[in-house]
Structure 1
């Protein structure tokens, strides 16, 4: 990590030691408390099974089939105790009895259902996890180590993480801990990432859950954090209410000699935006350029988001308008290498100029990937105008630019529009009218958008405010039917149903 980055942050972060108080304090895991409260069966007591199943599940076998290590010795001693009902049987008879028991379990219909789901690539993560929960405990005895890792990967392959997916993932992690199955750093990082990203508003409880997983990974499992771990923790800390915690994490990265990568710098830019520090945004961006990393649309999206959060929306919009006007848009004709090089050089010169106008160093050495705004670029500004300015004309202009760039809008765009109707539709002489709301709702229903909980809630709020509760109930029935057809989550549907009667009171 470059020393001048930390010289700026150490002055701010020196006043607190909150991270280390949380990190070093012995406590029960808040994550596991939440998991235990979830409506799913837990692995609580292995003694309900016969002796051979306990031995297979709670130990690690060597290549010759024997159990090694202190755990294996302890289990072997426990396994030598023969239940009173079997004392009169010989060791050979006991072995045959145990093998027959295992054979009976292998023929269980629950196993057939699980392996059918596991081997089918089209099985959805929720369905796969439900079939996993139906396995006789201890569940992991039927899977090899590689299959357990494959199950975790299948559960985590989702478009957007939520609390339900987090609980599913942590349930399997808990089973792996109980079963002495090694947990690689990648899966620890994924578990922390679920805690960091599955909630829009992070509570102190969620923050402690993420930090506890980090503590458990390093102290209990002996797996040291890497740059990816710290990037996830930095993201977690940035979304918390502890303003100095991200800087403490940066100091810990420096202490361990872990260099900042492109994700670290993107997180730092976002952090300074949340702190309203425009100088910090530009400082972090200059440091990112000096590392020689490629500037792509992900980095510029982070810069634009941070500038808006820091109260500089015009500076962010200037960057977007320049990106829209770049000759590297999708509508440009394919060109030769020389033409591409000249265009890229021109793009670099133009972007350097526009960034210089917003306070960035004009002499910075930019390395650019082919740049064009993406869906996120437009979603940032559409959501900003829907929340803050209520400028419907500006949103229509952005939607037109979105179409000209060949980008298909997704549900997130319509969600921002519904938010605008809900926040500004009750104002007199507003352009956010019921007629326009109906047009957006028709597009939401008829153009194949994926329905989610947030978009549904904003849609219902908008209809309740502009047309009343009766119309809101009618819209909900239409939405619910479509949502169920798409295989929507039952708990999310139930939550929306519960919140609908008191929706206008919430606003």
Structure 2
């Protein structure tokens, strides 16, 4: 890692916090310090109260009684996965009368394998089948099958608290059964903690750091660049402004080079710190490192510039991307003509970046550039939240359509947010008539209903049309949500939040 990246970051501040000292010991990180060998997740600070009780329910498994944890504790010592047994499970005989029945006589194992092998099984359904296995559950799975179970449970579109707890439950069973946990699955577990909450609390931060400690200290698995990228993302979303600096220092101490994800995280970090110069500095280092500039990187730059209070600079980048010839379908032409267009596009991008303070002479490694859904969602959400410029949003929606990009529920969610925030102002363009048009698209389009979009939709209707209308809208959305197989707990949460809305307005 180049020293000037770190020196630039150190300019933000040099203070450390008491939380960091807990996990870093006397100037060192968990891999070199002494820590109590407490159970991994029970004392990891995972959302005290409700979350702990849910986790306790998962650990009890199929016992359904208060002594379920005791059963797990009593049988923990006998958890030996099939991969480590010299004889097969069919030949093994249980002498304890409370021990689970053999797999050949237990229909729960057959039900689990049906769920495991079915492509239609959702991760939460697979986990429920796993919970039904007799304790200790890992007795009936080989090492590779356990890894396959974790992989299937990690394939989710958006992580939430329930998915995180399910994944950590299997990880904890593996620790109890002394099944080796590869670095990839440790990284996935930390990533669940980093991304499953919208607002990161100190408990969540401690949970991520605790998992890192367990991975290196207890399991002896050394963190790699991916681990540090996840930790950096976790630290950036916390309230500890100097924790990302500590992560970078530890990467340097271990001689772990920064990759493209590290630089993107650093760009986002500077944006949250309101440091436009830092954004540009990190981008220059990204280019010097020989990394390829693609739309993901430019989306990060635009988001960071908006966060740093430079929305016009971000909008100039988007305008160039929209006008770029790479967004249209390429026509059949000679190779020379195509190269001429590419070089012209690169020159234009170099010029627009130079106008915003980036080095015009940097050697750009470019992938084919065209705006994607995220590019437009960034600015639609910004204008819905901050400027209330409905005309600008309509222009962005028109550009979105011309680029051949299909809208998703995130776009409608931002529009609902705009109606909720600005619909009660005088002479506002955020009218009830326009809200009804957006709602019709929400209900009649092929959009996947989720909690956040529904909450903003209901809030907008309560503010613009009253409590009675909000209740009517909820019944319509609820029916469609249930038809799509919506999560019951999320539906209950929305109903509770709606009752609070009706009291507030």
TM-score (norm 1): 0.89
Say if 1:257 and 1:13 are closer, same or farther in 2 by CA, change over 3 A.
Answer: farther
- CA displacement, residues 161-182 of structure 1 (integer Å, 9 cap, x when unaligned): 1111111111111111111111
Say if 1:35 and 1:42 are closer, same or farther in 2 by CA, change over 3 A.
Answer: farther
Contact 2:82 2:139 in 1 (8 A): no
Residue 330 of structure 1: CA displacement?
2.8
Distance 2:463 2:21 in 1: 46
Distance 1:60 1:172 in 2: 16
Aligned to 1:108: 106
Say if 1:19 and 1:226 are closer, same or farther in 2 by CA, change over 3 A.
Answer: farther
Say if 1:95 and 1:488 are closer, same or farther in 2 by CA, change over 3 A.
Answer: closer
Distance 2:19 2:70 in 1: 39
- CA displacement, residues 193-213 of structure 1 (integer Å, 9 cap, x when unaligned): 011111111111111111111
Equivalence map 1:243-322=2 (5 Å) = 243-322=241-320
Say if 1:101 and 1:359 are closer, same or farther in 2 by CA, change over 3 A.
Answer: closer
Aligned to 1:37: 53
Classify the secondary structure of the residue corresponding to 2:292.
Answer: coil
Find out whether 1:371 has 2:387 as its counterpart: no
Contact 2:47 2:203 in 1 (8 A): no
Residue 100 of structure 1: CA displacement?
13
Aligned to 1:57: 79
Equivalence map 1:28-177=2 (5 Å) = 28-31=43-46, 36-38=52-54, 40-43=57-60, 48=71, 57-58=79-80, 62=84, 64-65=86-87, 95=93, 104-177=102-175
**Which residue of 219, 225, 228 maps to 2:223?**
225
Find out whether 1:488 has 2:486 as its counterpart: yes
Say if 1:387 and 1:367 are closer, same or farther in 2 by CA, change over 3 A.
Answer: same
Classify the secondary structure of the residue corresponding to 2:434.
Answer: helix
Aligned to 1:203: 201
Aligned to 2:419: 421
Distance 1:50 1:226 in 2: 33
Equivalence map 1:396-407=2 (5 Å) = 396-407=394-405
Distance 1:425 1:296 in 2: 37
Say if 1:97 and 1:200 are closer, same or farther in 2 by CA, change over 3 A.
Answer: closer
Residue 332 of structure 1: CA displacement?
4.2
Residue 42 of structure 1: CA displacement?
1.0
Distance 1:192 1:5 in 2: 25
Say if 1:21 and 1:334 are closer, same or farther in 2 by CA, change over 3 A.
Answer: farther
306-315 or 29-38, larger mean C-alpha shift: 29-38
Distance 1:50 1:378 in 2: 52
Distance 2:211 2:73 in 1: 32
Aligned to 1:22: 22
Residue 115 of structure 1: CA displacement?
1.2
Residue 18 of structure 1: CA displacement?
4.3
RMSD: 2.5
Distance 2:431 2:72 in 1: 64
Residue 112 of structure 1: CA displacement?
2.2
Contact 1:411 1:449 in 2 (8 A): yes
463-472 or 14-23, larger mean C-alpha shift: 14-23
- CA displacement, residues 330-382 of structure 1 (integer Å, 9 cap, x when unaligned): 34424443332222211111100000001111111111100000000000000
Say if 1:392 and 1:100 are closer, same or farther in 2 by CA, change over 3 A.
Answer: closer
Classify the secondary structure of the residue corresponding to 1:160.
Answer: coil
**Which residue of 178, 181, 189 maps to 1:180?**
178
Residue 140 of structure 1: CA displacement?
1.3
Residue 423 of structure 1: CA displacement?
0.2
57-66 or 422-431, larger mean C-alpha shift: 57-66
Distance 1:302 1:115 in 2: 42
Question: Which sections of structure 1, spanning at least 5 residues, go unmatched?
Answer: 67-92
Say if 1:393 and 1:105 are closer, same or farther in 2 by CA, change over 3 A.
Answer: same
Distance 1:258 1:50 in 2: 39
Say if 1:317 and 1:394 are closer, same or farther in 2 by CA, change over 3 A.
Answer: same
Q: Which has the larger radius of gyration?
A: 1
Classify the secondary structure of the residue corresponding to 2:173.
Answer: helix
Distance 2:239 2:175 in 1: 31
Aligned to 2:10: 10
Equivalence map 1:453-464=2 (5 Å) = 453-464=451-462
- CA displacement, residues 392-445 of structure 1 (integer Å, 9 cap, x when unaligned): 000000000000000001000000000000000001111101111111011111
Aligned to 1:497: 495
Classify the secondary structure of the residue corresponding to 1:264.
Answer: helix
- CA displacement, residues 35-91 of structure 1 (integer Å, 9 cap, x when unaligned): 54116331587874899x76651478657449xxxxxxxxxxxxxxxxxxxxxxxxx
Distance 1:161 1:189 in 2: 14
Contact 1:18 1:245 in 2 (8 A): no
Residue 468 of structure 1: CA displacement?
0.7
